[in-house]
Structure 1
């Protein structure tokens, strides 16, 4: 929504006048998730009112929106990129035989003392019990990076442990790439997810029949209509889990404009 140029478009219409590319979550995650297990689609469009009506299931309100981890820690992209390049070199050297290269790695991955630009990690980490299991604290991340650096400098003897750490690094780095500039949100009961940059407190998370991802809606002042903010990721609710804790009567028609 924050990238819109055509202000008179309904919120549910794609604005093709925007040239800035910011891959939608659907483009990245659609193949891996089915939040309502392919429940039959239900939708209708009223052209004279420019409204879209869907069958939806309300999850929870967003209680807080936290900074984008990647955006707030932009200075650390170079660190992650450097570590990734080191891992690629390790894989290549492993194929042809390990060659100690401590000095080279020491110059590219020096000890990092100031982690203040990653303070957003602690904010999200401490926001709920779910977040504490998914998002590392600054102390946890700094400890990982320092051990990673020590092993790179050590050379051949560190290869077995480096292989173990590589999996953890890949998961965290992939998570940052997937999240992009999207903020993290927490709900009133502590659920954790990703939301569009324009989201704010009191927006609502919904599931729609026929959609593979959840969405964020904003109630309008009339108490009847909603504005579509965008797609979301809700940790623990991306593969149909919501159907295990809800009833058919909980689904309702939702009108978006």
Structure 2
């Protein structure tokens, strides 16, 4: 009689039909006079400029790609006043990123208004996506913590994270510029998911692979004290910090691990 044994057959899993499941997708939404009114996929800053995306937002597309995003979906919100976009106007634009686009990180870079935050949280609640909320580059720890507390109980907040501090990178002729935390984070998430092969990883700290290290960054727009970091930590805020002369993201895992679910 044959000896009892376990036979294991290994076969590649069939690719899921329908909704994409790439968790490293980045969705950038902005308000401006020109640009795509429906989502377009950009693989470079040049792609964004060719689609009439304004210079500032096109540069941020390039920044997100530089941090590790394979591509960035870009969409312009139609607004009567691009400097004072209403929650309804943001929501109308975000609704165009339907379930068919799959999971990913959605952000309105550089905008910290209550209207933008509310629209993003509603989107996270409706589509089960992660949303990245920016604050002003010079916002104080107290102000950021207050904002976080005010949003903590809102539907969708369990799939959101507020980002404190804008990483500073060098530019031509020794100039510097600050990049919204959401832009950088979306790239780090994509880079981490690709390296780990799954979404259950925190794009923060070193982890032996520079998981949260911000490429090209030399400083942060606002350097918080240890006491301020404690305040932000207690409020559940994700922060950027310089450790051993390396600008890196911290505390980005809690919200983002929950966010990588099929959208729908």
Structures share a fold, TM > 0.5? no
- TM-score norm. by structure 1 comes to 0.23
Specify which structure has the higher proportion of helix: 1
Greater gyration radius: 1
- TM-score norm. by structure 2 comes to 0.22
Question: Greater relative contact order (Cα 8 A, min sep 6): structure 1 or 2?
Answer: 1
